[in-house]
Amino acid sequence: MTDALADSREGGSTGAQVFAAVAAVGALVGGMWYLPDILDQTPSTLGPAACSSSDDASPAPRGKVSGARLCTALNRPDLPKLLGTPTEQAVSASGSERESTWAGGTKTVTPEATVELQTYSVELSASHDDLPVAEMAEYLDHTAQTKTVLGHPAVLYSGRTISISFRLDGSDANSGPGGVARRLLVAGDPKDNGDTYELVIWRQDALTPDDQALFRVAEKVLPTLPGWRSAG
């Protein structure tokens, strides 16, 4: 999950620049929370960003989709149009596997990818924890809404972003509430057998994201992923 980097000038202080970062924070199964890595948002002059060769070389967990594969699926040429910002392009794209250790020593690997544009950031992750979407919904907050995406059970809910500001000289850093992140959890199988994908979008300007943009991305990207089973 990524951040928007923007510079500003502190009033009354000559040359004191502050960079602000907005990071999406979302609920994981069991009530865990995570903070995405901060990514550079310098606009590219060489065309849309591509998933790096290091991402492509990352090994996939046996029998599972890799972060590199998620990045390739998410970083599609029509992503800006699907988001409602057709004149923009991807400024960064990455994929990785995040390892978590739970109580008792159990380890899980979560592949994830993030594509960042000037207006939106989009994150895609996969889970194979054998916990159906219908059960996951019980752990979410009051914003959760039951939905259907291409015949698959889904849940739409909200998360928050965190705004982080820091001085160029590294002498000070502050954090505070950011904007809204809209999250769509979708079962990989119409029977909701426990494999899930989650799409998240948030805006760099902290305004509320467009839910229809989130659904447009889901309907185009999810069917291209390994393990996705079409309804009917």
Q: What's the confidence (pLDDT) of residue 177?
A: 52
Q: Provide φ and ψ at 53, rounded to 5°.
A: -65, -30
What domain count does the chain have?
Answer: 1
With respect to residue 84, please indicate whether it lies within any of the assigned structural domains: yes
Q: What's the confidence (pLDDT) of residue 88?
A: 97
With respect to residue 6, please indicate whether it lies within any of the assigned structural domains: no
With respect to residue 201, please indicate whether it lies within any of the assigned structural domains: yes
With respect to residue 53, please indicate whether it lies within any of the assigned structural domains: yes
3-class state of residue 218 by DSSP: helix
Q: Is 209 exposed, middle or buried (0-12, 13-18, 19+ CB in 10 A)?
A: buried
CA distances from 32 to 79, 102, 192, 208 (A): 29, 10, 22, 23
Query: What is the CATH classification number for the domain harbouring 205?
Result: 3.40.1000
Which residues, other chains included, contact 69 with Cβ-Cβ below 8 Å and sequence gap of 6+?
60, 95, 111, 225, 226
CA distances from 158 to 123, 170, 200 (A): 14, 32, 9
With respect to residue 72, please indicate whether it lies within any of the assigned structural domains: yes
Which residue matches tokens 């959760």?
144
Q: What's the confidence (pLDDT) of residue 112?
A: 94
Q: What's the confidence (pLDDT) of residue 26?
A: 42
Are the CB atoms for 204 and 121 separated by under 8 Å? yes
Angle at the Cα of 145 from the Cα atoms of 137 and 228, rounded to 5 degrees? 65
With respect to residue 98, please indicate whether it lies within any of the assigned structural domains: yes
- Chain-centroid distance, C-alpha 153: 20
pLDDT in tens, the chain (232 residues): 333 333 333 333 333 333 333 445 443 333 333 333 333 444 444 578 999 755 544 455 556 789 999 999 999 999 999 999 999 999 999 999 887 776 777 777 789 999 999 999 999 999 987 889 988 888 887 889 999 999 999 999 998 765 554 455 555 655 545 678 999 999 999 999 989 999 999 999 888 999 999 999 999 999 999 889 998 7
With respect to residue 138, please indicate whether it lies within any of the assigned structural domains: yes
With respect to residue 105, please indicate whether it lies within any of the assigned structural domains: yes
Distance CA 74, CA 220 (A): 9
CA distances from 201 to 60, 152, 174 (A): 24, 20, 24
- Residue from 204, 207, 230 nearest 219 by CA: 230
Domain that holds residue 203: 44-159+179-224
